[in-house]
Amino acid sequence: MASEIVYLNGDYMPLEEARIPVLDRGFIFGDGVYEVVPAYSRHLFRLPQHLKRLQHSLDGIRLPNPHSDDEWTKLTQELVARNAGDDQSIYYQVTRGVAKRAHEFPLNVKPTVFMMSNPLVTPPRAQIDQGVACITATDFRWLKCDLKSVSLLGNCLLKQMAVDAGAAEVVMFRDGYLTEASASNVFIVRNGVLLAPPKNHLVLPGITYDVIIEIANANKIPLELREISEHEVRTAEEIWVTSSTKEVLGVTKLDDEPVGEGKPGPLFRRMHAHYQEFKQAVMRRAA
């Protein structure tokens, strides 16, 4: 297979040839933001929503957007076309650029723009059918979790705790309330009602989170967005994690305790089927 093609500051090139200077503020400070957009059958899923969130992240770190939405769309389509595989996961990163190391923002520096494509690997059937195990942890990240910042050290430390415990994700609590997982949003079901924490500075506004809410509303699934206590999570009938690559997965074990009956619940199975239909419908419209 031809080598993976990436985009860096105006040019497409093989991954092996892409280089950035060591003084890039993304490397020195983690001073940048990113996005991940899934492409199914080479169609970009919810691109306008991802570009809107990218703008929100850039605004949050006071970095002017180097491209219009039209430009981003063309660059992304070109990257998808140049890479093998129909299902791709497109990663964007924008950093504040290269400058002498000093904390304050440099003047007149061009941002670094990097994009790459990875194969989009959605969960295997066994995971969908059997669910995944999660652990819990205190959310010790910063207070701007709504920004998709490349400063992901907190998320990496937390995810590694899950991996060390043989779990798929870490469900986090801050001051006794559910926030999210290290790379996913979290939904729970109690008394047949779907619950999720509201969007605020403590969670990433997931694109999949919005899809789940749209599907719930369209199918009259009772839904409440509100603060959820740790106790409510630990005694939930169902727990789900959602993200662009995981889509929606049932959590069947939390800290070694079974969730509900210990298998993906009825509302999960309904939502998973709706999600697949939703995706197919979007792709049919795009084709």
Residue 243 is a binding residue for ligand PMP (CB under 6 A): yes
If one asks whether residue 90 binds ligand PMP (CB under 6 A), the answer comes out as no
Question: Is 144 one of the catalytic residues?
Answer: no
| Residue whose tokens read 């970095």 | 63
Site for ligand PMP in 139-158 (CB under 6 A): 155
- The residue type of 267 is L
Cβ proximity to ligand PMP, 130 vs 151, nearer residue: 151
Specify the stretch interacting with ligand PMP by CB under 6 A; choose among 9-17, 91-99, 180-188, 221-229: 180-188
Q: Which two tokens stand for residue 18?
A: 């892409």
Segment near ligand PMP (CB under 6 A); pick from 83-91, 127-135, 159-167, 236-244: 236-244
Closest CA to 37 of 192, 112, 148: 148
The span from the CA of 147 to the CA of 205, in Å, is 8
Cβ atoms of residues 7 and 75 within 8 Å: yes
Catalytic residue among 148, 159, 246, 279: 148
Phi, psi of 266 (to 5 degrees): -65, -35
Q: Where are the alpha helices (DSSP H) in 83-185?
A: 125-130, 153-164
**Options 98, 183, 196, 215; binder of ligand PMP; rule CB under 6 A:** 183
Task: Determine the interface stretch with ligand PMP among 7-15, 127-135, 189-197, 239-247 (rule: CB under 6 A).
Answer: 239-247
Question: How many residues are present in the chain?
Answer: 287
In the complex, least distance from residue 208 CB atom to ligand PMP, rounded to whole angstroms: 3
Half-sphere CA count of 258, side-chain side, radius 13 A: 7
Q: Is 184 in the site for ligand PMP (CB under 6 A)?
A: yes
Q: In the complex, which residues of this chain contact ligand PMP (CB under 6 A)?
A: 36, 155, 180, 183-185, 204, 206-209, 242-244
- Catalytic amino acids? 148
